[in-house]
Amino acid sequence: MEFSIKQSSPEKQRSGCLVVGVFEGGKLSPSAQALDKIAEHHLSDIIAKGDMDGKPETTLLLHNVANIAADRVLLVGLGKSSEFSPKQYLDALRSSYGALKKCACKDAALYLVDLAVQGRDMTWNIKQAVLAGAESRFRCDQLKSKPAEPGKLRKILLACAEKPDTNAQTALNQSVAMTHGIKLAKNLGNLPGNICTPTYLAEQAMELAKKHKLKANVLEEKEMQKLGMNSLLSVTRGSKQPAKLITLEYAGASAKQKPIVLVGKGITFDSGGISLKPGEGMDEMKFDMCGAASVLGTMQAIAEMGLELNVVAVIPSCENMPDGAASKPGDIVTSMSGQTIEILNTDAEGRLILCDALTYAARFEPETVIDIATLTGACVIALGNVATGLYSNEDKLARELLDAGEYAHDRAWQMPLWDDYQQQLDSNFADMQNIGGRAGGSITAACFLSRFTKEYRWAHLDIAGTAWKSGKEKGSTGRPVPLLTQYLINRAPVKV
Ligand code: BES
Ligand code: MN
Ligand code: ZN
């Protein structure tokens, strides 16, 4: 989908379809009013007849509207006009794109971005209009023998009453880059474990590096052994696929500037290992590399934007499989940090690969480290599929991530990292055990990671509930690419 933004009057705009809003009770938005006037009150007549009441999630497609240059007009219900909320705006976008998908038009002009949304500015409206457009167009057909019918709708004009300023154009460009990152994350996440192996992820990272002039490096198991990454290696022991530790470096700022490091869990299939998972729904554990996919998607987006920041991606990747050589409950390993870990459950493998990756991350002398992982089923119990679990050893960083998530509509919720939980990880035989019992399972997983991140500012995003959808809509969501990308945009100096 192609997006553009310009000043435009609806009565003169040539287009396959003009999309204008109607508030509940029939109040027309300013652009709908302009159309109504030139079309001799056609719109208000329809509203008076009761065919469009402006309720949320309603649309009405009109043909042959008099005296205008466009082929069609789509009325979209905006809901109540007092306190027009972000949710109402997002619902209206979704309904508009849904209705446009069903009509034959190839292009459309949306007169929605200059609506006044409570607590938001126009750049937010623009970003969300682009993200929602790309979301509606996404098709999961990588592995269908015939590709899905491509939608007819190709071009979206975001029409404004006044000439858009450079901020508006920047918002548009940034959000288009964001949609490319989201698409990459979704496509990688949706690939099955027999295709998306650690080797495949490494190849994709190399390709991304080539396309965007990033520095790429892939560590093999031999090198991991030399570094003492025995915790990471303990997870891959039962797999025939070689483990990889992938790093990508994006240099958008001077070499003196310390990088932000993103660490993504890249378990390309999590069977649970010897602590085997139950069979039902096990296929969804192909999504256990969505942290890695979101890091790659974010790298792609920020490289395309050319953000003036240094960002490093660190992706530990392997499979978690049962086998004669696999790690067993009770096994004890020495992590790269020197701390010893008793593996009481081989299904708590994410923390075992992340702890070594987090120790490794210190060599980039990071300004901040953020890890992203489909880490615990307990996080899904706590927060469902709406919010990502957020943990941090610094409240300012937590605040910045929460704000970025709120703005990008890819929200996180902060959870406690209090010392009181740490004792659940006490082991009789090693420095710690890799599980902390059923109580507070997402928190104790974060506590485990915190033991490897003392040297730097760090946050952990548990995306177990948000990285993919189950059921009829099964598929990767591309989250938290919007949150991470927005955080990095906010961290980058404003270009003048
Ligand atoms: N990848 C899973 C977490 C997961 C489970 C994400 C279900 C989404 C849905 C992780 O490796 C795992 O298996 N965690 C265990 C930890 C437990 C053994 C302490 C879990 O959550 O059950
Ligand atoms: Mn597991
Ligand atoms: Zn896992």
Taking residues 424-451, report their average pLDDT.
98
For residue 267, the CA-to-ligand 3 centroid distance in Å is 6
pLDDT score of 225 more than 80: yes
- With 0-12 CB in 10 A as exposed, 13-18 as middle and 19+ as buried, what is 170? middle
Does 152 share its domain with 268?
A: no
Answer whether 0.95 is exceeded by the pTM: yes
Which residue has the CA at smallest separation from atom 9 of ligand 1?
377
Q: Please give the Cα distance from 223 to 229 (Å, whole number).
A: 9
Query: Sheet of 432-433: strands edge to edge?
Result: 331-334, 340-343, 432-433
- Catalytic annotation, pick one of 351, 411, 451, 479: 351
Is 351 catalytic? The answer is yes
Ligand nearest to the CA of 463: 1
DSSP state of 330: T
Name the domain boundary from 130, 161, 192.
161
Q: Is residue 166 part of a domain?
A: no
Bond before 329 cis per omega within 30 degrees: no
Q: Report pLDDT digits (tens) over 395-426.
A: 999 999 999 999 999 999 999 999 999 999 99
How far away, in angstroms, is 415 Cα from ligand 1 center? 18
- If one residue of 287, 347, 353, 479 were mutated to test the ligand 1 pocket, choosing by the most ligand atoms within 8 A of its CB, it would be 347
Distance CA(188)–CA(37), nearest Å, equals 49
Do 456 and 331 share a structural domain? yes
CA 268 – ligand 1 centroid, Å: 14
pLDDT at position 496 is 63
- Cβ 210 vs Cβ 495: under 8 Å: no
- State the ligand closest to the CA atom of 282: 1
Same domain, 129 and 187: no
Q: Which of 6, 27, 55, 277 is catalytic?
A: 277
With the most atoms of ligand 1 within 8 angstroms of its CB, the residue from 376, 379, 470 to mutate is 376
Q: If you average pLDDT over every residue of the chain, what do you get?
A: 97
Query: Is the same domain home to 213 and 120?
Result: no
Ligand 1 atom with the smallest distance to the CA of 350 is 11
Which residues does residue 23 pair with via DSSP β-bridges, in sequence order?
79
Is 198 domain-assigned? yes
**Within this chain, do residues 144 and 244 fall inside the same structural domain, yes or no?**
no
Residue where one domain finishes, among candidates 161, 185, 213:
161
pLDDT, tens only, 94-112 = 999 999 999 999 999 999 9
Point out the ligand 1 atom lying closest to the alpha carbon of residue 277.
Answer: 13
Print the domain residue range for 247: 177-491
d(CA 170, CA 219): 37
Say whether 277 is catalytic. yes
Nearest residue (by CA) to ligand 1, atom 13, is 347
**Residues 293 and 221 reside in one and the same domain:** yes
Residue with the nearest Cα to atom 17 of ligand 1?
A: 348
Report how far residue 229's alpha carbon sits from residue 233's, in angstroms, rounded to the nearest whole number.
6
Taking only the tens place, the pLDDT of each residue in 11-64 is: 999 999 999 999 999 999 999 999 999 999 999 999 999 999 999 999 999 999
User: Which band of pLDDT confidence, cut at 50, 70 and 90, is reported for residue 357?
Assistant: very high
* pLDDT of 150 above 90: no
Query: Which atom of ligand 1 is closest in space to residue 378's alpha carbon?
Result: 21
Helix (H/G/I), strand (E/B), else coil: 218: strand
Look at residues 385, 387, 394 and name the one whose alpha carbon lies nearest to residue 417.
394
Distance 375 CA to ligand 3 centre (A): 6
Q: Quick check: 332 and 342 in contact, CB under 8 A?
A: yes
* Residue 494, pLDDT score: 82
Residue 154 within any structural domain of the chain: yes
Give the N- to C-terminal CA distance of the chain in Å, as an integer: 29
Q: What is the pLDDT of residues 279-307, one digit of tens each?
A: 999 999 999 999 999 999 999 999 999 99
Q: Domain tally for the chain? A: 2
Structure confidence at residue 345 (pLDDT):
98
- Torsion angle of the four alpha carbons 408, 367, 298, 412, in this order, in degrees rounded to the nearest 10: -40
**Does residue 187 share a domain with residue 109?**
no
- Mark whether 403 and 323 lie in a shared domain: yes
Shortest-distance atom of ligand 1 to CA 436: 19
* Nearest ligand 1 atom to alpha carbon 374: 6
Note whether residue 496 is domain-resident. no
Same domain? For 148 and 213 the reply is: no
Looking at the domain assignment, is residue 171 inside a domain?
no
213 and 92 assigned to the same domain: no
- 319 CA to middle of ligand 3, Å? 9
100 touches 108 (CB < 8 A): yes
Assign residue 421 the CATH number of its domain.
3.40.630.10
Q: How far is the CA of 272 from the centre of ligand 2 (A)?
A: 5
CB of 216 closer than 8 Å to CB of 186? no
pLDDT over 70, % of the chain: 100
Residue 172 lies in a domain: no
Helices marked H in 53-115: 86-102
Last residue of a domain, one of 107, 130, 161: 161
Same domain, 148 and 186: no
pLDDT at 255 over 80: yes
In CATH, what number is assigned to the domain containing residue 147?
Answer: 3.40.220.10
- Which residues form the pocket of ligand 1, taking CB atoms under 6 Å from any ligand atom? 270, 288, 345, 347-350, 374-378, 380, 435, 441, 464
Domain presence at residue 299? yes
Residue carrying structure tokens 């474990």: 193
CA 288 to ligand 1: nearest atom = 1
Instruction: Kindly report the protein residue whose alpha carbon is nearest to atom 3 of ligand 1.
Output: 376
Q: 32 and 131 in one domain?
A: yes
Token pair 């590709």 is found at 147
Q: What is the mean pLDDT of residues 457-475?
A: 98
Question: What separation in Å is there between the alpha carbon of 268 and the centre of ligand 3?
Answer: 9
